[in-house]
């Protein structure tokens, strides 16, 4: 099988590329604007990489879509601070650039595995979010935070329509707070410049206090990247067409913890690394109002829990890594 990965140097793309090369015989054709996270893949004969921008290298992408069996467009901006500060940039990349890829896959009858997001559920009030039944609820237009969610949701609907009316072979997967090695650059000092876990690690290592938006009372279901990659490998394999025209939540509903608890766990774990123990001991948790931290365009939800019954039924998949082990593996990667 020939697999096209757009955004191969990202968090999911880099981990997925390594797993495909290690666990399968598939070949990968890949593009991204950097290659620091995929250096272990570059020497592999089955990994064909160019460094470039998907909005520029359109001819290369067209030829690869024609050549490959399945495409995974993993390029997206996924940091909440950017949703508020530069919503048009989010729309242009996350929606417009990916819409072109979707149309090419539909035109050339190529399978697409598309990353939706847990954020499409927005402020849904269900205890668990169901892929086929839960309502997708977002806030008013002036809450620009939702431009990411609604961009992804509309692409979900476009892909579904292509599947129903133009026979597009697709799978949508919705990651719920995946974390692990290669997530973000922990040295990025910009507040909100990376996702929450790497932001907190960087705060601790730099001797900074950890800022908890609205007290960090929001809960999220965190899942270790290896479990997510395991699900993606099953989706790619698509045994007995188990993933055809389906949507899957890929998350760990058991590991449902508050952002404050995450910060406390990280401080305690980093104290076990002798060279960083002193910095961790000095770290304080400081509460801040969301409007002060993000601006008036931000809005959040208290709870986001996935139902993973469909992934269990059709993929035979379930998460295996508990939070403590996952965080330890992540810290070993960043701190060793």
Residue pair 204/280 in contact by the 8 Å Cβ criterion: yes
For residue 106, being part of any structural domain is answered with: yes
pLDDT for 297 equals 86
Per-residue pLDDT tens, the chain, 336 aa: give them.
Answer: 999 999 999 999 999 999 999 999 999 999 999 999 999 999 999 999 999 999 999 999 999 999 999 999 999 998 888 999 999 999 999 999 999 999 999 999 999 999 999 999 999 999 999 999 999 999 999 999 999 999 999 999 999 999 999 999 999 999 999 999 999 888 876 776 678 999 999 999 998 999 999 999 999 999 999 999 999 999 999 999 999 999 999 999 999 999 999 999 999 999 999 999 999 999 999 999 888 888 888 888 889 999 999 999 999 999 999 999 999 999 999 998
Rg of the chain on CA atoms, in Å? 19
List of residues 6+ apart from 280 with CB closer than 8 A = 204, 267, 268, 270, 271
Q: What are phi and psi of 299, to 5 degrees?
A: -150, 145
Assign residue 42 a region: left if phi > 0, alpha if psi is -120 to 50, beta otherwise?
alpha
Q: Specify if 333 maps to a domain.
A: no
54-87 b/e (C-beta count within 10 Å ≥ 16 → b) = beebeeebeebbeebebbbbbbbbbbbbbbbeeb
Tokens (6 digits) for 20: 């495909």
pTM for this structure? 0.95
pLDDT score of 296 = 87
Distance CA 297, CA 290 (A): 10
Distances in Å between the Cα of 251 and the Cα atoms of 115, 131, 196, 201 are 13, 12, 17, 22
Q: What is the pLDDT of residue 217?
A: 94
Looking at the domain assignment, is residue 244 inside a domain?
Answer: yes
Ranges assigned E (strand) in 90-154: 111-115
Q: Identify the pLDDT of residue 193.
A: 65
- Residue keyed to tokens 């799978």: 171
Number of domains in the chain: 1
- pLDDT score of 293: 85
Q: Does 279 fall in a domain?
A: no
50: number of Cβ within 10 Å: 13
In the prediction, which pLDDT does 300 show?
Answer: 85
Does 33 map to a domain? no
51 within a domain of the structure (yes/no): no
Residue-level pLDDT at 192: 65
CATH code where residue 155 lies: 3.40.50.720
Structural domain boundaries, residue 310: 76-181+223-253+304-320
Residue 288 inside a domain? The answer is no
- Is the residue at 145 inside a domain? yes
């Amino acid at each position: 099988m020939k697999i096209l990965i757009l955004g191969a140097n990202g968090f999911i793309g880099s981990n997925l590329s390594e797993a495909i090369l290690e666990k399968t015989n598939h070949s990968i054709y890949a593009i991204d604007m950097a290659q620091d996270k995929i250096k272990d893949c570059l020497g592999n004969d089955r990994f064909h990489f160019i460094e470039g921008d998907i909005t520029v290298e359109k001819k290369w992408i067209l030829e690869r879509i024609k050549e490959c069996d399945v495409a995974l467009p993993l390029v997206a901006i996924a940091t909440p601070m950017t949703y508020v500060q530069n919503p048009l940039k989010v729309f242009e990349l996350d929606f417009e650039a990916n819409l072109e890829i979707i149309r090419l896959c539909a035109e050339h009858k190529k399978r697409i595995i598309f990353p939706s997001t847990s954020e499409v559920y927005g402020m849904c009030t269900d205890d668990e979010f169901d892929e086929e039944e839960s309502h997708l609820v977002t806030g008013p237009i002036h809450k620009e935070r939702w431009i990411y969610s609604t961009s992804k949701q509309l692409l979900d609907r476009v892909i579904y329509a292509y599947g129903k009316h133009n026979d597009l072979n697709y799978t949508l997967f919705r990651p719920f707070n995946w974390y692990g090695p290669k997530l973000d650059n922990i040295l990025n000092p910009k507040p909100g410049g990376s996702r929450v876990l790497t932001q907190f690690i960087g705060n601790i290592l730099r001797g900074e206090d950890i800022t908890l938006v609205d007290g960090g009372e929001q809960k999220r279901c965190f899942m270790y990247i290896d479990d997510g990659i395991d699900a993606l490998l099953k989706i790619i394999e698509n045994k007995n067409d188990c993933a055809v025209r389906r949507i899957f939540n890929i998350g760990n509903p058991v590991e449902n913890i508050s952002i404050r608890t995450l910060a406390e766990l990280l401080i305690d774990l980093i104290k076990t690394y002798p060279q960083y123990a002193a910095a961790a001991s000095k770290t304080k948790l400081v509460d801040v109002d969301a409007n002060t931290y993000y601006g008036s365009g931000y809005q959040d939800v208290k709870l986001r829990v996935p139902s993973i019954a469909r992934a269990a039924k059709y993929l035979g998949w379930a998460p295996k890594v508990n939070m403590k082990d996952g965080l330890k593996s992540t810290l070993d990667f960043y701190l060793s």
